[in-house]
Copies of this chain bind each other. A is one copy, B any other.
Amino acid sequence: MFPIQFIVRLAASGLLALSLSVTAVTAQTDPLPSWNDGAAKQAILDFVTRTTAEGSADFVPPEDRIAAFDQDGTLWVEHPIYTEFRFVIDRAPDLVKAHPELADKPAFAAILSKDEKRIAALDARELFEALVVTLSGMTPDALGEEINAWLKTARDPRWRRPYIDLTYLPMQEVLTFLRANGYKTFIATGGSVGVVAPYSREFYGIPPEQVSGSAQDLKFEIVDGKPVLIREAKLSLDNIEAGKIENFRMVYGRTPYAQFGNSSSDDQQALQYVKNSPGLRLSVAILHDDAAREYAYGPAQGLPDSPVGTFSQEMYDLGQKEGWIIVSMKNDWKRIFAFED
């Protein structure tokens, strides 16, 4: 149901160096093999066909093909606690050692307990403030090296695997499929751009400059005669709630043609704005309804509530009314992780 696509690139840089790569996607190859046949898969295939086929009424010029993806709960596991918070939990003890007064703050007390239920019970903004303090005082490069080093050794407690394995295979296929059809892919996360950008290329094939996230101020200083930038404990861009689409549009000056998310707390307005923009737009919301293979939480469709990534019944009803694609992980995804048999 999608056009034959040939993308051949021959690019050489440097003296007489040549490299050749050929990608050919034919009608015989399923670009989304981890998706079960059904309305969700078909809607994604149709969207790409209609926006990329020359002569289509919904054709989008290649330079305007922009797609944005939430990370937590959309590209990888977020339940019961965001991976970024696990990093903060591991990092906080050193900070509190240097600043013992922080131990009295409820958020730090919970973080130091390493009790994930207690941490998850914290007010989201309270937790985020502790995160902002923990992720300040260093250069952005130092934080990038730290998160990448952590990701090499840290293991998810349920699957006992590195976090890169917890990315969703069906969504990796969507990223690849969109890029093969000329879409420039972006991350639009409620999490910290300073944490996500350093691994976005390795994990998702998305370069750092195409990661939009909540952002802490950087401060220019001259230290020992050399200029440095230091992360401040001050949130300059807040991607929670409508902030995600407000900041994406402000920073990039573009409205995505396709928006993927899962949470009422930071995706709802972005999905709504994109779907209502002129032209053919695709808004996709991932419903976590697979307690066996991943997690089930909502409270859309009567699923239990969750401290993270809440998919409210209100958002569900809005999505149905506006024609978003609501993906059931249980029914629409044949495989969730690459490591599954």
Contacts and interface: CB of A to CB of B under 8 A. Distances in A.
A10 B6 CA distance: 9
Interface string A1-44: 00111111111111111100000000000000000000000000
Given A54-B17, A220-B245, A251-B215, A11 B8 contact: yes
A193 interface: yes
Given A201-B63, A227-B272, A252 B15 contact: no
Nearest to A182: B13
Interface in A180-226: 181-182, 184, 186, 193-194, 197-198, 201, 207-212, 215-220, 226
Contacts of A227: 269, 272-273, 276
A98 interface: no
Nearest to A22: B10
Contacts of A272: 227
A218 B250 contact: yes
A114 interface: no
A53 interface: yes
A200 to B, nearest CB: 8
How many copies of the chain does the oligomer comprise? 2
17 contacts: A5-B12, A13-B182, A15-B53, A186-B209, A193-B251, A194-B253, A198-B253, A208-B252, A209-B251, A209-B252, A209-B253, A219-B246, A229-B245, A229-B246, A236-B237, A236-B250, A251-B251
Interface of A: 3-18, 52-56, 59, 62-63, 66, 140, 144, 181-182, 184, 186, 193-194, 197-198, 201, 207-212, 215-220, 226-227, 229, 236-237, 242, 245-247, 249-254, 269, 272-273, 276
Given A13-B62, A63-B207, A209-B253, 6 more contacts: A3-B15, A3-B16, A9-B9, A17-B54, A194-B250, A251-B251
